[in-house]
Amino acid sequence: MFKYSGPDDLTIALNKFLRYTGPISVDTETISLKDKNCVGIGIGISPTEGFYFETLPDTSPFLPTIMDILADNNRVKYYHNATYDIETLRLLAEQTNLPAPDVWNIQDTLIMAQINGRRAGLNYLGETLLGWQHLFSIEDIINESIEAGGKKRGVTMLDVDANRLAEKCMNDVKATFGIHKVLKSKLNPEQLDCYDKDIRVLSVLKETELRG
């Protein structure tokens, strides 16, 4: 599955994505919070354009291209909770024998929000900083699945509607892209210095974990 959320049709959007070389926002969807097997990857290239590539139950033919992009240390990558997404992407890289994600050229809007003294939930930040009202959570999708007649226990992201999951992931990456720009402008010099130090520490920790 390949999904797109933005102003262009699917073919134009895909060609735009493949030509795009700027910063990207990244989000992963996993089977559950405990089971970090990746269900799909979201990529944002602006606050209005997001892409979703399925990895389970079927694997997108674009996965090698996506993993190459995520491994490129010349490409800036915006995450919201980079630790979780990087761990998920590393597991996927091991399973598919594809490149592991870069950990050096990254930004994290969750850390940014915490340093700025804000609640760090993505939906909250999207609503308060961007004025968005259409964001929804994993819990929302799972509850939809239950209400639609699905099983009530042990529901995972493999049980939910694939299109709704793709929509959520694309919303998340578009929001992350927009939130990064707004939050970066709100950090005062002292907060910015603290953030720069924290993000470097995160990179060092992730590199150390990889090397064992």
User: Cα torsion at 145, 151, 152, 154 (round to 10°)?
Assistant: -100
Distance, C-alpha 148 to centroid of its chain: 27
Torsion of CA 45, 38, 99, 79, to 10 degrees: 40
3-state secondary structure of 42: strand
Q: Supply 207's token pair.
A: 């590199």
Q: What is the pLDDT of residues 89-146, one digit of tens each?
A: 999 999 999 999 999 999 999 999 999 999 999 999 999 999 998 898 888 888 887 7
Whole-prediction pTM: 0.94
Q: Is a pLDDT exceeding 70 seen at residue 191? A: yes
Confidence label for 72 from pLDDT (cuts 50, 70 and 90): very high
Residue 211 tokens read as: 């090397």
